[in-house]
């Protein structure tokens, strides 16, 4: 990722768009469809780099997967006919693939090696490995914390476990491992994190019960799995960039259709409402994975906001772009309880503050978040995504606050979650 991209887009942004399918759900749909025997079709998936890594891994395990126009067709022999891969299972830059598969592969009775790129090699895996070992998994890594992960056949047992971090990836790794256990497991969350694994287990006929922050699995749950078709909603994390773009660009009025508004993920909508931003959800379709059209208009007098506690896991991926939004508020905003940002593709606390700081915005990093002062795009500088897709897109949106073009290094990182991001942004400009 060495390319540079000059961004030169002027507002207002006007029009209607759809964003790509939800990344979290696409990963899980590929995994569950692959475990089930028979054919499943995944409609409107995200075909970004991360999800393609997950597809390639299941192909190596013996699953037939075809990509067609806006769909993935999975034809699987079933989990009990997977074959041992005689090469490393490469996860690229995908933390979701790495951590969820650490759990799933632990119960599959196969010898596997999971490894990713240099960025993945720096991300902590002990948060997944420790509880998996308590379940009987035979999993080791470099310094007991980093990829490559070596996974050997093991008998998975039930677990009663209180989570130490609010992480959907850790929770999901344990839930995937629990599929292969003869016992039930009880997992208690620290804070409610995105619940796509739970809703999608039910979609694929896997029994699971949820009460508040407590999740209980059933013994031998994998035996219940059935091939199912799945429709992936648009990714609210991708929609977030357009939500903020419209709020901060004078004269803007955009509608984003078919966006997933699962209440464990929709923190950005709640935060924008707290800031008195002009946002409304229309055409709500209320299912286990609800969707809506989101209409957003330019809002000149945004209120400052304190972001802390329960709302943080519901907006964790969106916090860099929310930080940019907060620079346009009428007073100082604070983000707290967001330590998790330090172990994403980059340390997103420091990267957000550093990159926006180069442009004249005033953000102070703290141990668990950011203090964000009202500030402007004051100076031109070359900025860098540091191979983090969400930082790349956030910087592109920041450029809307300047009259001058902005040069972003390693911009192709955006392809991880949003191939075609820039053309879609330009489409709104053209329509305006």
Which DSSP string corresponds to 63-82?
Answer: -EEEEETTEEEEEE--GGG-
Task: Estimate the crossing angle of helix 421-431 against helix 389-398, to 10 degrees.
Answer: 20
Q: Exposure string (b/e) for 306-323, b if CB count within 10 Å is 16 or more?
A: ebeeebbbbbbbbbbbbb
Question: What CATH number does the domain containing 144 carry?
Answer: 3.65.10.10
Q: Which residues carry out catalysis? A: 317
Summarised one tens digit per residue, pLDDT across range 40-73 is 999 999 999 999 999 999 999 999 999 998 999 9
Summarised one tens digit per residue, pLDDT across range 114-162 is 999 998 999 999 999 999 999 999 999 999 999 999 999 999 999 999 9
Percentage of the chain beyond pLDDT 90 is 92
pLDDT of residue 283: 97
Specify whether 407 is located in the same domain as 347. yes
Model confidence at 396: pLDDT above 80: yes
- Distance, in Å, from the CA atom of 340 to the CA atom of 165, rounded to the nearest integer, reads 8
Summarised one tens digit per residue, pLDDT across range 171-207 is 999 999 999 999 999 999 988 889 999 999 999 999 9
Specify whether 284 is located in the same domain as 421. yes
Which helix (H) or strand (E) segment holds residue 192: the answer is none
- Distance, in Å, from the CA atom of 191 to the CA atom of 231, rounded to the nearest integer, reads 27
Widest Cα–Cα separation across the chain: 62
- Distance, in Å, from the CA atom of 373 to the CA atom of 361, rounded to the nearest integer, reads 8
| DSSP secondary structure letter of residue 282 | E
Specify whether 255 is located in the same domain as 391. yes
The domain tally of the chain equals: 2
- Distance, in Å, from the CA atom of 239 to the CA atom of 120, rounded to the nearest integer, reads 25
Q: Reduce the secondary structure of 6-30 to three states and give it as a string.
A: EECCCCCCEEEEECCECHHHHHHHH
Specify whether 43 is located in the same domain as 185. yes
Residue after which a domain boundary falls, among 231, 260, 294: 231
Specify whether 216 is located in the same domain as 263. no
User: What integer is the mean pLDDT of 288-294?
Assistant: 96
Report residue 15 as tokens. 């029009």
Specify whether 221 is located in the same domain as 159. yes
3-state helix, strand, coil in the chain (%, to 5): 35, 25, 40
Model confidence at 79: pLDDT above 90: yes
Q: What pTM did the predictor assign?
A: 0.92
Residue after which a domain boundary falls, among 209, 231, 253: 231
Specify whether 88 is located in the same domain as 209. yes
pLDDT of residue 346: 87
Q: Exposure string (b/e) for 213-228, b if CB count within 10 Å is 16 or more?
A: eebbbbeebbeebebb
Cβ atoms of 319 and 292 within 8 Å: the answer is no
Specify whether 27 is located in the same domain as 8. no
Summarised one tens digit per residue, pLDDT across range 309-320 is 999 999 999 999
Specify whether 131 is located in the same domain as 260. no
In order of 31, 344, 416, the CA distances from 59 in angstroms are: 11, 27, 20
Cβ atoms of 392 and 348 within 8 Å: the answer is no
Specify whether 225 is located in the same domain as 237. no
Report residue 60 as tokens. 């190596």
Domain that holds residue 142: 23-231
Summarised one tens digit per residue, pLDDT across range 322-377 is 999 999 999 999 999 999 998 788 899 999 999 999 999 999 999 999 999 999 99
pLDDT band at 2 (very low <50, low <70, confident <90, very high): low
Specify whether 118 is located in the same domain as 36. yes
pLDDT of residue 249: 97
Specify whether 193 is located in the same domain as 254. no
Residue after which a domain boundary falls, among 231, 261, 279: 231
């Amino acid at each position: 990722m060495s390319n540079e991209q000059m961004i030169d887009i002027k507002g207002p942004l006007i029009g209607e768009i759809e964003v790509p399918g939800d990344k979290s759900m696409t990963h899980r749909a590929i995994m569950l469809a692959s475990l089930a025997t028979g054919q499943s079709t995944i409609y409107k998936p995200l075909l970004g780099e991360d999800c393609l890594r997950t597809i390639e891994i299941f192909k190596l395990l013996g699953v037939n997967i075809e990509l067609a126009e806006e769909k993935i067709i999975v034809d699987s022999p079933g989990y009990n006919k997977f074959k041992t891969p005689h090469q490393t299972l490469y996860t690229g830059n995908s933390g979701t693939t790495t951590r969820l598969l650490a759990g799933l592969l632990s119960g599959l009775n196969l010898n596997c090696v999971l490894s990713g790129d240099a960025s993945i090699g720096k991300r902590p895996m002990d948060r997944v490995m420790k509880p998996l070992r308590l379940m009987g998994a035979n999993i080791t890594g470099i310094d007991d914390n980093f990829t490559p992960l070596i996974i050997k056949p093991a008998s998975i047992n039930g677990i009663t476990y209180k989570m130490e971090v609010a992480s959907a990836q850790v929770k999901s790794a344990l839930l995937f491992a629990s599929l292969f256990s003869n016992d039930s497991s009880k997992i208690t969350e620290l804070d409610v994190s995105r619940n796509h694994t739970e809703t999608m287990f039910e979609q694929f006929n896997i029994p699971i019960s949820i009460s508040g922050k407590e999740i209980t699995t059933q013994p031998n749950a994998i035996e219940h799995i059935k091939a199912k078709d799945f429709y992936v909603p648009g990714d609210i994390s991708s929609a977030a960039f357009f939500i903020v773009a419209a709020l901060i660009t004078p004269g803007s009025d955009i509608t984003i259709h078919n966006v997933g508004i699962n209440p464990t993920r929709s923190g950005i909508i709640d935060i924008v409402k707290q800031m008195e931003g002009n946002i409304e959800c229309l055409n709500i379709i209320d299912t286990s994975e609800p969707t809506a059209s989101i209409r957003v208009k330019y809002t000149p007098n945004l209120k400052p906001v304190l972001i802390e506690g329960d709302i943080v896991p519901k907006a964790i991926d969106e916090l860099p772009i929310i930080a940019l939004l907060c620079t346009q508020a009428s007073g100082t905003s604070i983000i707290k309880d967001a330590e998790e940002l330090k172990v994403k593709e980059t340390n997103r606390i420091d990267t957000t503050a550093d990159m926006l700081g180069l442009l004249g915005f005033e953000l102070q990093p703290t141990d668990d978040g950011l203090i964000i002062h009202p500030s402007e795009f004051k100076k031109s500088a070359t900025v860098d995504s540091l191979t983090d897709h969400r930082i790349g897109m956030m910087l592109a949106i920041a450029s809307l606050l300047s009259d001058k073009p902005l040069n972003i290094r390693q911009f192709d990182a955006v392809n991880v979650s949003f191939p075609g991001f820039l053309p879609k942004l330009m489409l709104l400009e053209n329509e305006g």
